Chain A
């Protein structure tokens, strides 16, 4: 990506923290997908937090790409959690019939890291709770 960075991908131990700073168009979204998946392999990451707190809108392509990223990341050995969905965005998404599928969500970055770092690691909390 050129110009001001639209997305920053930071490495934190065995986790990657990807912050989306502004609304991405479809091409940028695919570039982000490519970069992120690439870095998971390069840094042998086990968990990914995608922070969308700066977004005040998330379209269906964006939501689907996030699901795809999570699925690809899982195949590459990393668990993904999406954090920071704003109240308006959340309600708009469900009103339009969009969701994050099986991808877990958390309130903010801190929660997301806590979620990834919880005992037992790679299972989604929702499934864990249902089983418990």
Chain B
């Protein structure tokens, strides 16, 4: 600091004399508190300019930016991110269902960091050395905040995803008896290896408990399978056969059919039929049922 000359003097010479390292941060925080309204508005403006957070109304945005700002300054002051973490998680919980993306959240926090840094530049521009020291104190704290917010957001998102996966898993593979000795398994959604494993387990135990002879697996609702899942499916069909049940697969989409042929899964032992209706008719035939329409329909 000492080599700085007279021309730097006018702005904040009083501060210059008393800037021990441990006082930099309180000073900085006081500055940010003092200009809170102006800086917050500037930040909100920058957010709007960047087209971030368009899922939120201006009122919500004003409320959220204010509390984020206050939290931010508080973390700078106390150095403890716990309160912020809690707040960020709450915020994420509120905004994730609104479709706010990770890049938006990270974006606004980085914008705030930049806005505040600019205001520090402005305040300390006359003393380059002091500015450097202020930034030294500011930057690690600011980065930690950005980090905390981003991580909290992603954590929250992952929690939501996990929860949804669990609920999908719970309702994913029903085994339904339609007639004596006949089961159907309607599959909906992407078949990953976890669901395929679950399918096998449910199917094989279902065969045992329902004493099934024929099982129709309908995969109309499955958009895609990969090689591992296809092979797993083949093994499941083989295992069912070892337990004395025939498996009929119905509803292979053109895409899946092409995938299976392209990757060369051996399906020669699989019994496939175009749609669920055809599958059920074939199953009834195997079991010796014959379904006839009753009187009164005029077609007999």
A residues whose Cβ falls under 8 Å from a Cβ of B: 83, 85-91, 93-95, 99-100, 105-108, 111, 126, 129
Known A91-B236, A105-B241; 13 more pairs at CB < 8 Å:
A85-B242, A85-B243, A87-B201, A87-B205, A90-B243, A91-B235, A93-B242, A94-B235, A99-B242, A105-B243, A107-B243, A108-B244, A111-B213
- Docked Cα-Cα span, A85 to B242, in Å, equals 7
Q: Whole-angstrom distance between the alpha carbons of A90 and B204 in the complex?
A: 9
B131-167 contacts to A, CB under 8 A, are: none
The yes or no answer to B110 lying at the interface (CB within 8 A) is no
Q: B residues engaging A (CB < 8 A)?
A: 200-201, 204-205, 207-208, 211-213, 235-236, 238-246, 286
Instruction: Point out the residues of chain B lying under 8 angstroms from A107, CB to CB.
Output: 207-208, 211-213, 243-245
Q: Tell whether, in the assembled complex, residue B241 and residue A91 are in contact, meaning their CB atoms are under 8 Å apart.
A: no
Q: Given contacts A107-B207, A107-B208, A129-B286, is CB(A87)–CB(B243) below 8 Å?
A: yes
A105 in contact with B242 (CB, 8 Å):
yes
Q: When A and B form their complex, what is the total count of cross-chain residue pairs whose Cβ atoms lie within 8 Å?
A: 56
Residue of B204, B208, B212, B245 near A91 (CB, 8 A) is B204
- Report the minimal beta-carbon distance from B230 to chain A, rounded to whole angstroms: 14
Q: Considering the chains assembled together, what is the distance between the CA atoms of A81 and B208 in angstroms? A: 17
Shortest C-beta distance, A27 to chain B (Å), equals 25
| Closest CB pairs A-B (n = 9) | A87-B204, A90-B239, A106-B244, A94-B238, A107-B244, A90-B242, A94-B235, A91-B239, A85-B242
Q: Let me know if B239 and A87 touch, CB within 8 A.
A: yes
CA distance A83 to B246 in the complex (A): 14
- Residues of chain A contacted by B212 (CB below 8 angstroms): 107
B205 surroundings in chain A (CB, below 8 A): 87
CA distance A106 to B235 in the complex (A): 17
A16 CB, min distance to chain B CBs, angstroms: 19
- How far apart are B207's CB and chain A's nearest CB, in angstroms? 7
Q: Which A residues touch B207, using CB under 8 A?
A: 87, 107
The interface centre, meaning the residue of A91, A99, A111 with most chain B CB atoms within 10 A of its CB, is: A91
In the complex, which residue of chain A has the Cβ closest to the Cβ of B240? Answer: A90
Q: A74 to nearest B CB, angstroms? A: 19
In the bound complex, residues from chain B placing their C-beta under 8 Å from that of A94 are 235-236, 238-239, 242
Closest to B206 in A: A87
Distance of A94 Cα from B237 Cα, bound (Å): 9
Smallest beta-carbon distance A118→chain B, Å = 11
| Residue from A86, A87, A108, A129 having most chain B Cβ neighbours under 10 A | A87
| Residues in chain B near residue A129, CB distance under 8 A | 246, 286
Contacts of B244 in A (CB 8 A): 83, 85, 105-108, 111
Provide the residues of chain B in CB contact with A93, threshold 8 Å.
239, 242
- CB nearest neighbor in A for B201: A87
Of all chain B residues, the one with the shortest Cβ separation from A95 is: B235
- Please indicate the chain B residues that have their CB under 8 angstroms from the CB of A86 in the complex: 208
Q: Inside 8 A of A88's CB, which chain B residues have their CB?
A: 204
Give the residue name and chain of the A residue nearest to B208 (CB).
Answer: A87
* A106 / chain B contacts, CB cutoff of 8 Å: 244
CA distance A83 to B208 in the complex (A): 12
Q: Once bound together, how far apart are the Cα atoms of A13 and B150, in whole Å? A: 76
Query: Which residues in A have their C-beta under 8 angstroms from that of B243?
Result: 85, 87, 90, 105, 107
A101 vs B219: C-alpha distance in the bound complex, in angstroms? Answer: 28
Please indicate the chain B residues that have their CB under 8 angstroms from the CB of A126 in the complex.
246
Least CB separation from A82: chain B residue: B242
